[in-house]
């Protein structure tokens, strides 16, 4: 009896591990091991022909915190995230509410909104280069028509980051709209009818019923947008290369530079570890704080 | 039908000339319980949605309390509605669900608390106020939907198959609750259902629909004893009316209907019909004998106590004249023997007007 029970228990444990193993293997190979290896690498000095790599503890982090470029880039990324995330989510929501209503040409509207998402970021960068280029770009041509002078949107430190933000918002909001659209379609139409009978205005219905029911989606999009604000840098390569004078440089681009332009991979590893830590903390906060206020169906 | 509270005049709403409702007129007195009954796809839900203002009729007129509300917004019609799916807001607690309408209308806090307590007590939801709908059973959700309808204090309540998502036992108890609630509050209820026993037991007035038109309306007893068409005869009652070809009984009518409980056993020699036993169903107090006859449908015989009759046994049946309902051939004149209530008259002008309206539609296409 007890023997049979123990065997059954062990069999269940083995079964569990078997089910877990594919994800465990994949995550270990491609996520856990690289993270740990990066953390380990960040404790070593840069290897040169004369000086082999040696353990220097937290010195890389100290150098990083003393580096004004790092703070400039971190500030840039903070501003970039602070601008692109709320605006692209708000736009996505408005577009989804509009594309979900009963209007003619609904599917065309949805496709039009979604198109930027389908484009690779590099292609989007090239497209926007065509908008931003001084004198011959579309924006300057338009400004020329109303008598405004030429403007080098990407070439001036004051405007370059904002120009990058606009490209990102344009690219991201269509993508987020799809999630909102899918979520909106799971809301039963009877809820709208019940609210109508109770005399709720369109705005009240949206605020009291639709937005709360979209909260799980919003949370998901928020986490995604946050990750993307660090992850998506392809357009920098086309548009500004982080310039002029680091004014549009974002953290991942900086890591790429450290590692592949300056060949200082320990510094790049240290920066990566910092980014991972910050992203992890913020995601945990988002889920922790917003989860309690979110209703999952 | 004095003091009609809700009136529909020749209401019509179709999609590409199909489905929906075509020319329905209806008059509901204040405080009545009216059932709209019919098989699925007959337009009964459309009719209710038109009444609620969730659909707009193509033609016709809707009056509630003497006001023309044909094109009024749902909230301007002074009615509440219970949906088939209950349409509870899943992220709001029971309390917030019930008070949603009052909050929208900015009722005072005191009034909200008072109404909530009243509605919760009436529907037996005490102690569940802080639960979300997801944490409630089907019957409890259904009662939240009822409470939400009651709390609005509107004199008219529309119900769209409110019991169809409940199991059979619960259905019976909620049915009684609904009826008690309606009596206590003096509500006028328009109740859509496809279950004839629900309609018969609940309502003062039954409207039986088929293919977007009213087949017959009246008191449940009228529909039961004097069905206007073979469709009504076979839809109402359990078991439904038996239908026999007129010629088989030597009568001119195309079909003759009779309630199974009125059929008597007779000696084979002087029987009206001789049918053969198909099966016996013992139901406790009685035995239902299912009978087959080549020129009849739904024939049966009810015998008291437990009886066993071998399948194939020939039985003589007497169909008393006073319980026979004669149906003329479709399109023919109605048999004068039939009762002409106020309800039957309503179908006559509808037939007269239906044809031209269909023609205009074909022209417009």
Q: Do B104 and A200 touch (CB under 8 A)?
A: yes
Give the residue with greater pLDDT, B238 vs B218: B218
Inter-chain CB proximity A208 and B101 less than 8 Å: no
> Among B191, B225, B259, where does a domain finish?
B225
DSSP assignment of B161-201, as one string?
Answer: STTTTS-HHHHHHHHHHHHHHHHHHT-EEEEEES-HHHHHH
Q: Tell me: the pLDDT tens digits for A129-138?
A: 888 887 777 8
Give the span between the Cα atoms of A89 and A85, in whole angstroms.
6
A15 pLDDT higher than 90: yes
- Find the CATH number of the domain harbouring B297: 2.40.50.140
Residue in chain A closest to B134 (alpha carbons) equals A297
Q: What is the maximum alpha-carbon separation in chain B?
A: 79
The verdict on B217 and B246 lying in the same domain is no
Subunit contact A197:B90, Cβ cutoff 8 A: no
Q: Given the structure tokens 């199991």, which residue do they identify?
A: B167
Helix (H, G, I), strand (E, B) or coil at A245: coil
Q: What are the residues whose beta carbons fall under 8 Å from the beta carbon of B46, sequence distance 6 or more?
A: B13, B19, B20, B21, B55, B212
| Contact yes or no for B87 and A209 at CB 8 A | no
Residue B354 resides in a domain: no
Distance, CA of B250 to CA of A205 (rounded, Å): 65
Q: Which residue of B has its CA nearest to A297?
A: B90
Q: Is there a single domain that holds both residue B9 and residue B75?
A: yes
Same domain as B174, residue B51:
yes
Q: Tens digit of pLDDT for each residue in B12-70?
A: 998 887 888 888 888 899 889 999 999 888 888 899 999 998 988 999 999 998 888 88
Inter-chain CB pairs, A–B, below 8 Å: 65
- Residues of chain A contacting residue B130, judged by C-beta atoms under 8 Å apart: none
Structural domains for chain A: 67-291 (1.10.3720.10)
Domain stops at, among B165, B197, B225 = B225
Averaged pLDDT of chain B:
83
Which domain CATH number covers B53? Answer: 3.40.50.300
pLDDT at B359: 37
Same domain, B27 and B62: yes
A19-23, A53-57, B143-147, B263-267: range with highest mean pLDDT:
A19-23
Tell whether the model's pLDDT for residue A124 goes beyond 90: no
Separation in Å, CA of A137 to nearest CA in chain B: 49
Neighbour count for residue A39 (Cβ, 10 Å): 15
Residue A200: list chain B partners with CB under 8 A. Answer: 75, 100-101, 104
**Closest to B87 in 3D by CA, of A137, A187, A167:** A187
Task: Name the residue of chain A whose CA is nearest to B86's CA.
Answer: A190
pLDDT at residue B284 in the model: 86
One domain for residues B39 and B163? yes
| pLDDT for res B331 | 54
Count of other CB atoms within 10 angstroms of residue A74: 18
Q: How far apart are CA B200 and CA B219, in angstroms?
A: 9
Nearest to B87 among A191, A201, A215 (CB): A191
Mean pLDDT of B211-231: 90
Percent of chain A topping pLDDT 70: 97
B284 and B184 within one domain: no
Say if residue B168 is in the same domain as residue B246: no
Q: Pick from B304, B269, B259: which is nearest to B283 by CA?
A: B304
pLDDT for residue B345 is more than 70: no
User: Would you give the DSSP letter of residue A17?
Assistant: H
Where is pLDDT greater, at A225 or B356?
A225
Distance CA B151, CA B112 (A): 9
| Residue partners of A282: CB distance under 8 A and separation at least 6 | A226
Nearest CA in chain B to A216: B91
Q: Is A213 on the interface with B (CB under 8 A)?
A: yes
Residue A117 has pLDDT above 90, yes or no: no
Asked if residue B333 has pLDDT above 60, the reply is no
Task: Write out chain A residues lying below 8 Å of B89, CB-based.
Answer: 191, 194, 208-209
Which residue in B90, B92, B104 is closest to A198 by CB distance? Answer: B104
**Chain A residue closest to B98 (CA)?**
A198
Residue of chain B nearest A204, judged by CA positions:
B104
| A 267-296 residues inside an 8 A Cβ radius of B | 295
B152 and B40 assigned to the same domain: yes
Which residues in chain A touch residue B83, judged by CB atoms under 8 angstroms apart?
190, 193-194
Structural domain contains residue B364: no
The answer for residues whose C-beta is within 8 angstroms of residue A256's C-beta and 6 or more apart is A233, A268
How far apart are the C-alpha atoms of B363 and B92, rounded to whole Å? 51
In this structure, the answer to whether residues B18 and B78 fall within a common structural domain is yes
Same domain, yes or no: B257 and B154: no
pLDDT for residue B174 is more than 50: yes
* Residue, of B245 and B2, whose pLDDT is higher: B245
Is the model's pLDDT at B350 over the cut of 60? no
Is B136 contained in some domain? yes
Phi, psi of A255 (to 5 degrees): -60, -45
Q: Residue B346: which pLDDT band, with cuts at 50, 70 and 90?
A: very low
Among B225, B256, B276, identify where a domain stops.
B225
- Looking at residue A265, its pLDDT comes to 85
Give the residue from B85, B102, B104 with the most A CB atoms within 10 Å of its CB, the best one to mutate.
Answer: B104
Choose the mutation target among B81, B88, B90 for the interface with A, i.e. most A CBs under 10 Å: B90
Tokens standing for B106?
């900015």
C-alpha distance from B47 to closest chain A C-alpha (Å): 15
Provide the pLDDT for residue A24: 94
Q: A110 to each of A102, A170, A188, B64, B267, how far by Cα in Å?
A: 12, 14, 20, 41, 76
- Interface check A86 vs B, CB under 8 A: no
**Cβ separation of B74 and A196 shorter than 8 Å?**
yes
Q: Which residues of A touch B53 (CB under 8 A)?
A: 196-197
CB nearest to B87's CB, from A190, A215, A295: A190
| Across A104-122, average pLDDT | 82
Does residue A30 carry a pLDDT above 90?
yes
What number of helices (H) and strands (E) belong to chain A? 15, 0
Q: What is the mean pLDDT of chain A?
A: 86
Structure tokens given for B109:
């806090």
C-alpha pair distances (Å), A193 with each of A86, A202, A244, B21, B74: 30, 11, 55, 20, 9
d(CA A196, CA B322): 52
Q: Which of A277-281, B281-285, B295-299, B329-333 has the lowest mean pLDDT?
A: B329-333
Cβ–Cβ below 8 Å for A199 and B85:
no
- Mention every residue, 6+ apart, whose C-beta is less than 8 A from residue A15: none
**Pairwise CA distance, residues B242 & B258, whole Å:** 5
B109 assigned to some structural domain? yes
B198 and B299 housed in the same domain: no
Number of structural domains chain B divides into? 2
Q: Is the pLDDT of residue A87 over 90?
A: yes
The nearest CA of chain B is from the CA of A294 a distance in Å of: 8
**B353 falls within a domain:** no
- Please determine, for residue A41, whether its predicted confidence score (pLDDT) is greater than 90: no
Q: Sheet harboring B4-15: ordered strands across?
A: B18-29, B4-15, B59-64, B67-68
Answer whether residue B271 is part of any domain. yes
pLDDT band at A59 (very low <50, low <70, confident <90, very high): confident
Q: What residue numbers bound the domain in which B208 lies?
A: 4-225
Q: How does DSSP assign A71-86, residue by residue?
A: HHHHHHHHHHHHHHHH
Q: Is B132 on the interface with A (CB under 8 A)?
A: yes
Q: How many angstroms away from the CA of B80 is the closest CA of chain A?
A: 7
Put simply, whether B100 touches A (Cβ < 8 Å) is yes
> pLDDT (tens digit, 9 = 90+) per residue, A215-264?
888 888 988 898 888 888 888 888 888 778 888 888 899 999 888 888 88
| CB pair distance less than 8 Å for A193 and B105 | no
Contact residues, B window 76-95, toward A, CB-based 8 Å cutoff:
79-81, 83, 85, 87, 89-92
Residue B311 lies in a domain: yes
Q: Which residue has the higher pLDDT, B352 or B178?
A: B178
**Who among B75, B85, B92 is closest to A196 (CB)?**
B75
Q: What residues of chain B, 223 to 262, have a C-beta less than 8 Å from chain A?
A: none
Question: Which 3 state secondary structure label does DSSP give B304?
Answer: strand
pLDDT band at residue A295 under the 50/70/90 scheme: low
Q: Which phi and psi (to 5°) does residue A200 adopt?
A: -75, 135
Reported ipTM: the value is 0.75
With beta carbons less than 8 A apart as the criterion, state whether A148 and A141 touch. no
Looking at residues B324-347, what average pLDDT do you find? Answer: 51
Share of chain B residues as helix, strand and coil, in percent rounded to the nearest 5: 35, 30, 35
Residue B163 lies in a domain: yes
Regarding whether B246 and B181 lie in a shared domain, the answer is no
């Amino acid at each position: 009896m007890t023997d049979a029970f123990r065997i059954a228990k062990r069999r269940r444990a083995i079964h569990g591990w078997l089910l877990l193993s594919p994800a465990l293997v994949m995550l270990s190979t491609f996520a856990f091991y690289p993270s740990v290896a990066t953390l380990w690498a960040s404790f070593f000095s840069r290897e040169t022909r004369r000086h082999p790599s040696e353990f220097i503890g937290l010195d890389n982090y100290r150098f990083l915190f003393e580096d004004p470029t790092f703070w400039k880039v971190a500030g840039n990324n903070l501003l970039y995230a602070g601008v692109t995330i709320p605006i692209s989510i708000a736009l996505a929501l408005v577009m989804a509410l509009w594309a979900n209503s009963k209007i003619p040409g609904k599917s065309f509207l949805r496709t039009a909104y979604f198109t930027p998402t389908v484009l690779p970021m590099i292609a989007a960068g090239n497209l926007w280069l065509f908008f931003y280029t001084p004198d011959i770009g579309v924006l300057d041509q338009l400004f020329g028509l109303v008598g405004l002078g030429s403007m080098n949107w990407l070439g001036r430190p004051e405007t370059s980051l904002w120009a990058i933000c606009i490209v990102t918002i344009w690219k991201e909001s269509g993508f987020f709209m799809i999630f909102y659209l899918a979520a909106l379609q799971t809301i039963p139409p009877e809820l709208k009818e019940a609210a109508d009978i109770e005399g709720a205005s369109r705005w009240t219905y949206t605020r009291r019923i639709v937005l709360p029911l979209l909260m799980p989606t919003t949370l998901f999009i928020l986490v995604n947008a946050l990750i993307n604000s660090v992850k998506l840098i392809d357009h920098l390569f086309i548009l500004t290369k982080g310039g002029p004078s680091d004014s549009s440089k974002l953290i991942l681009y900086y890591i790429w530079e450290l590692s592949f332009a300056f060949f200082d991979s320990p510094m790049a590893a240290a920066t990566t570890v910092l980014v991972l830590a910050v992203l992890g903390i913020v995601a945990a906060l988002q889920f922790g704080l917003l989860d309690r206020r979110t209703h999952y169906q | 039908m004095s003091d009609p509270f809700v009136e529909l005049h020749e209401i019509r709403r179709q999609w590409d000339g199909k489905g929906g409702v075509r020319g329905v007129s209806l008059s509901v007195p204040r405080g009545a319980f009216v059932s709209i009954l019919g098989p699925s796809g007959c337009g009964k839900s459309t009719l209710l949605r038109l009444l609620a203002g969730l659909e707009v009729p193509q033609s016709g007129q809707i009056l509630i309390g003497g006001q023309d509300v044909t094109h009024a917004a749902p909230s301007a019609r002074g009615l509440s509605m219970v949906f088939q799916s209950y349409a509870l807001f899943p992220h709001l607690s029971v309390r917030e669900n019930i008070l949603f309408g009052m909050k929208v209308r900015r009722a005072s806090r005191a009034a909200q608390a008072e109404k909530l307590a009243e509605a919760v007590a009436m529907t037996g939801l005490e102690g569940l106020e802080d639960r979300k709908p997801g944490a409630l059973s089907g019957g409890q959700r259904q009662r939240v939907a009822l409470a939400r309808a009651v709390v609005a204090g509107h004199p008219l309540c529309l119900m769209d198959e409110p019991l169809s998502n409940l199991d059979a036992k619960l259905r019976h108890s909620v049915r009684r609750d609904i009826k008690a609630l309606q009596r206590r509050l003096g509500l006028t209820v328009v109740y859509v259902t496809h279950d004839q026993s629900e309609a018969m037991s609940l309502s003062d007035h039954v409207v039986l629909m088929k293919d977007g038109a009213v087949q017959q309306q009246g008191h449940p007893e009228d529909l039961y004893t004097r069905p206007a068409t073979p469709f009504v005869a076979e839809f109402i009652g359990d078991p439904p009316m038996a239908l026999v070809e007129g010629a088989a009984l030597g009568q001119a009518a195309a079909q003759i209907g009779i309630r199974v409980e009125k059929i008597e056993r007779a000696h084979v020699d002087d029987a009206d019909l001789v049918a053969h036993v198909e099966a016996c169903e013992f139901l406790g107090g009685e035995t239902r004998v299912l009978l087959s006859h080549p020129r009849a449908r739904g024939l049966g015989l009810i015998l008291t106590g437990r009886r066993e009759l071998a399948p194939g046994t020939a039985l003589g049946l007497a169909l008393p004249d006073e319980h026979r309902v004669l149906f003329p051939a479709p399109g023919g004149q109605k048999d004068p023997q039939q009762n002409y209530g106020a309800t039957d008259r309503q179908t006559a002008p509808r037939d007269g007007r239906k044809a031209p309206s269909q023609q205009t539609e074909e022209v417009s296409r």
